[in-house]
Amino acid sequence: LAMQAAVGVLQRMPRSAWLIRGKLARCFMAGRSARSLHVFVSAGEPSGDMLAAATMRAIREQSPEEVTFSGIGGELMKKEGLDPIFDMSELSVMGIFELIPHLPRLWRRLNEAISSAAQAKPDILLTVDSKGFNNRLLRALKQRDAMRDTTFVHLVGPSVWAYKGDHRKTKAFLSAHLDLLLVLFPFETAHFEHHVPVTCIGPHILEYEHVRTLLSSPPPPPPLTCASRPPTGRRTRTPSSWRLSLL
């Protein structure tokens, strides 16, 4: 079922969304003057590092001018040209009790990110997932006069489709703080399109040719399990050749 669903998603996606190119770049480049483009990126998790790195690569490949990146990220983002203000590993804390001793450092890093972004006055502020940190970053920067000309973009929509309720607070936050929301799957757009401009760019894993080939091929047959019982009914006398299990 999972394979069939993935094939369906792949078939419905426009080709430009497969590689996180074209559509994404046009959203970012629309109305930009012919000058260097500065993007401030904030990602706080390994999955965000992968998504942000693919997005940075797409922006750079589509931009006719030089693109510079600064912000918070990991090794993959650094390979794509990120000039980090600090490594995203400093934001990786799990658990409530584990979080408490790190709160002073996390607040200090949040304030550092706010000051750095406001000073840089980027053309685009791109936050990737990590809503605990990035929502606070968006809330603080949206109020700054220095960010008046900045386009606020968030990648990976909240999973409102997975929980009951109308999620008014979440959607109101997106409407008030974002200029564009980028989601990974087509069905997600219906949940946000009445509150914020939204574009489906496709999951970054579809960049890889072997993944697209795998998803485009027919799904494998279901597992076959065959077991025979001995005439005597005694399991201890069942030859191993009588039992067949294909997993």
- Could you list the pLDDT tens digit for every one of the 247 residues in the chain? 333 443 444 344 443 333 344 445 555 555 555 468 899 999 988 888 988 998 888 888 887 778 999 999 999 999 999 999 998 888 876 656 666 777 888 889 999 999 999 999 999 999 998 888 899 999 999 988 889 889 999 998 887 776 666 678 888 888 899 999 988 888 888 888 888 898 888 776 656 555 556 656 666 666 655 555 555 555 555 555 444 443 3
How would you classify the pairing of strands 198-200 and 224-227? unpaired
Whether 146 and 121 have beta carbons less than 8 Å apart is answered as yes
Around 224, how many Cα atoms within 13 Å sit in the side-chain half-sphere? 6
DSSP label at residue 102: G
What is the per-residue pLDDT for 132? 84
**Assessment of whether the complete model's pTM goes beyond 0.85:** no
Q: Phi and psi dihedrals of 94, rounded to 5?
A: -120, 145
Whether 117 and 71 have beta carbons less than 8 Å apart is answered as yes
Find the helix or strand (DSSP H, E) in which 167 lies: none
CA-to-CA distance for 151 and 141, rounded, in angstroms? 11
CA-to-CA distance for 222 and 165, rounded, in angstroms? 36
Nearby residues of 28 by Cβ (< 8 Å), 6 or more positions away = 37, 39, 59, 62, 124, 151, 153
What is the per-residue pLDDT for 72? 94
CA-to-CA distance for 169 and 16, rounded, in angstroms? 32
Max Cα distance, the chain (Å): 85
